[in-house]
Chains A and B, each alone.
Chain A
Amino acid sequence: MKRVFNTQMVPLLSVFAAFSFIVMMFNLPLPGGTTGHAVGVGIASIVLGPWASILGISIALIIQAVFFGDGGITAIGANCFNMAIIGSLVAYAVYRAVSGRAAITSVRRVVAAGIAGYVAINLAALAAAVEFGIQPMLYHDASGAPLYAPYPLHIAIPAMMIGHLTVAGLAEMVITAGVVAYLQKSEPSLLKATAPGPAASVSEPELTNGWRATRPLWLALAALLILTPLGVLAVGSAWGEWAPGDFSNPAVRHEIASASGNQSPPIEAPRGLRALSSFWTAPMPRYAPPFLKSPRFGYLLSAMAGTGLILLVILGAGWVTQTRTG
């Protein structure tokens, strides 16, 4: 079993990453008449489980950034963190929690898949918005001009979230629910890996055994994560390319512009910023514990603590659902 998984992993992950890459190009018709693009992270987590999904989506994002120039190279770390890691873990947790012990072919699984895709994309977008939003506080030149992403949290969060709560989130919801509904009819065995019951035990040992084989990949991903602040630095291309579908869509572009345009004039902005930034950064003031003088180091530390927190929450949610179901 171990050997099979080890040798099978290379072709399986490659082909799956290629699939994710192609699905990102699909033009999805959405309710309301617009079209959008999905990431495919929801369906990846449901069919392959969260860990393989993280690796597969990361590889697709790396190829997209390097070869096809979508998303800056230095933003790969941030992109993988938001879309692959947060997206996969959230999608998996939500899918497991909502679908519960429902049968493989039940409608509840379709609904669970839709919700999982929608929530995953929006939490990934929120993470990106927070990364953008804290940059004006950290990096600016002598005149006060922001060096990287120019918008504070109270602009970055609504601007990112409007596009994702509507178009991008819906696109992910449509594709995740649609593919699960399709697989229920044509190939339900593909949905067994993340369903409870006897089928669930098939995937678990594989994943634990696969640790040795996948270790270099996890280490590479960890290195990318450590480089995330660097990726955040080059956000110019990251924000623009992070979900190309949103920005190529005139409706969303208009929404983003109007979301930013309706903000208070410059003189009043700092007040709102102060109020909101203290709200968002409450647990770790200014993202840097007071004993750390360098804001960059503090930010890195906060990012790591944040990752740890998310992992804890996800593992906790998994434990709760497991004890309840089994």
Chain B
Amino acid sequence: MTGFIERTIAHLIAASERAALAEQAALSPGALQSVDPRVKVVGLFALIVVVAASRRLRTIAALFAVAAILSAISKIPMRRLAAWVWSPVLLFTGAIALPAIFLTPGREIAFAITEQGLRAAAFLIGRAETAATFSALLVLTTPWPWVLKALRIFRCPLILVAILGMTYRYIFVILQTALEMFEARKSRTVGILPPAERRRLASSAAGVLLSKSLHMGNDVHLAMQSRGYRGEIHLLQDFRARTADWCWLSGFALIAAASLWWGR
């Protein structure tokens, strides 16, 4: 069975499809799409921190409703959110939260289920779902280079912003290389590979990719130098906050402050 080659290929294709769809969503019209990226980064990050700090289930539920409303007015299909964010988070976090219902010591309700256990599971799932939805909202309504540029507002080091931007770019280059390598191998594989051979195949693929990446790093460096790169990084700062952006910022601040107070 060579299933792992197919599975790796499927993984790689899924990642690039997802990135393409996210970029497409970020460029289509909608409420959050029109907001200054800096306002979105600050506002959504503040809401995530408030979700993490909240000590009341009702506050977390209310913030989840805010996230759902924001995605509705930004014309992000609920189906996509459910497929990309809600179900995977529910699957992972739910699997972890399930035993807690029985194992958390406290007042027993029925079948060894404790009230405290139910609350603990609700906290875990609620927090994870809400925070993941807010971060998905940022990525689905903002092109990645803008997210990075907006990070400068947090005094993020210039060099970090540059590396994050280049990494994102080269993920797709290396992803394409990996995809071609696996497809080439798949088209030349007949019959069943023994397990040891499969492992050797996977790790040699990683080795080839590693040496290709390092050579590419050198080539990119030479290319950058030949275009005048001497170690200084410049970013174009062309964001302009309009009145609407200030309104959004106040809205985010208001929701964050109210939830923080309510969720104490």
A interface residues (Cβ-Cβ under 8 A, vs B): 3, 6-8, 10-19, 21-23, 25-31, 33, 35, 40, 43, 47, 59-60, 62-63, 65-69, 72-74, 141, 143-151, 155, 174-175, 177-179, 181-183, 186-187, 190, 213, 216-217, 219-220, 230, 233-237, 239-241, 244, 247, 253, 256-257, 260-261, 263, 265-267, 269-270
Interface residue stretch chosen among B27-35, B155-163, B237-245, B251-259: B155-163
In this complex, the interface size class of chain B, counting residues with CB under 8 Å from chain A, is: 35 or more
Q: Which 6 A-B pairs have the closest CB atoms?
A: A178-B203, A240-B92, A216-B157, A182-B207, A236-B128, A14-B166
Some 9 contacts from A to B, beta carbons below 8 A apart, are: A15-B166, A27-B4, A27-B7, A35-B7, A144-B116, A174-B199, A236-B93, A236-B128, A266-B103
Question: Cβ of B20: which chain A residues have Cβ within 8 Å of it?
Answer: none
How many angstroms between the C-alpha atoms of A23 and B98 in the bound complex? 31
Q: Do A3 and B160 touch across chains, with their CB atoms under 8 A apart?
A: no
* Neighbour of B52 across the interface among A175, A220, A233, CB < 8 A: A233
Smallest Cβ distance from B207 to chain A, in angstroms?
3
Instruction: Determine the residue in chain A with the shortest Cβ distance to B216.
Output: A15
> Contacts A14-B163, A148-B124 given: A143-B106 contact, CB under 8 Å?
yes
A11-B221, A237-B93, A270-B105 are known contacts. Are A66 and B15 too (CB-CB below 8 A)?
A: no
**Between A and B, how many residue pairs show CB distances below 8 Å?**
307
Contacts of B135 in A (CB 8 A): 65-66, 69, 72-73
Given A141-B55, A236-B124, A257-B99, does the pair A18, B203 have CB atoms closer than 8 Å? no
Say yes or no: is B43 at the interface (Cβ < 8 Å to chain A).
no
Contact with A along B86-121 (1 / 0, CB 8 A): 000101110111111011111110001011111111
| B229 in contact (CB, < 8 A) | yes
Whether B209 pairs with A247 at a CB distance below 8 angstroms is no
Are A263 and B204 CB-contacts (below 8 A) given A26-B8, A67-B168?
Answer: no
Q: How far is the CA of A187 from the CA of B206 in the complex (A)?
A: 13
Q: B73: CB under 8 A from chain A?
A: no
Is chain A's binding surface mostly helix, strand, loop or mixed? helix
Interchain CB contact under 8 A, A16 and B214: yes
Which residues of A lie under 8 Å from residue B102 when comparing CB positions?
261, 266
Complex CA gap A29/B102 in Å reads 35
**B104 & A72 in contact (Cβ 8 Å cutoff):** no
Give Cα A144–Cα B96 distance, bound, in whole angstroms. Answer: 19
Q: B221 touching A256 by the CB < 8 A rule?
A: no
Q: Does B64 contact A (CB under 8 A)?
A: no
Specify which chain B residues have a CB less than 8 angstroms from the CB of A67 in the assembled complex. 19, 22, 139, 144, 168
Asked if B105 contacts A16 (CB within 8 A), the reply is no
- A19's nearest neighbour on chain B, judged by CB, is B213
Q: Please indicate which of the listed interface residues A21, A73, A241 has the most CB atoms of chain B within 10 Å of its own CB.
A: A73
What are the residues of chain B within 8 A of A25 when measuring CB–CB? 8, 11-12, 15
Contact A22 B171 (CB under 8 A): yes
Q: Which residues of A contact B4 (CB under 8 A)?
A: 27-29, 35
Option from B55, B120, B162, B207 in Cβ contact (under 8 Å) with A10: B162
User: Contacts A183-B211, A267-B105 given; 19 further ones with Cβ under 8 A?
Assistant: A11-B220, A15-B174, A16-B213, A19-B210, A25-B12, A28-B202, A29-B202, A59-B163, A72-B128, A72-B132, A72-B135, A145-B104, A147-B55, A150-B121, A179-B204, A182-B207, A183-B210, A187-B211, A247-B91
The answer to whether A151 and B157 have CB atoms under 8 Å apart is no
Nearest to A246 among chain B residues (CB) is B92
B177 nearest CB neighbor, chain A only:
A22
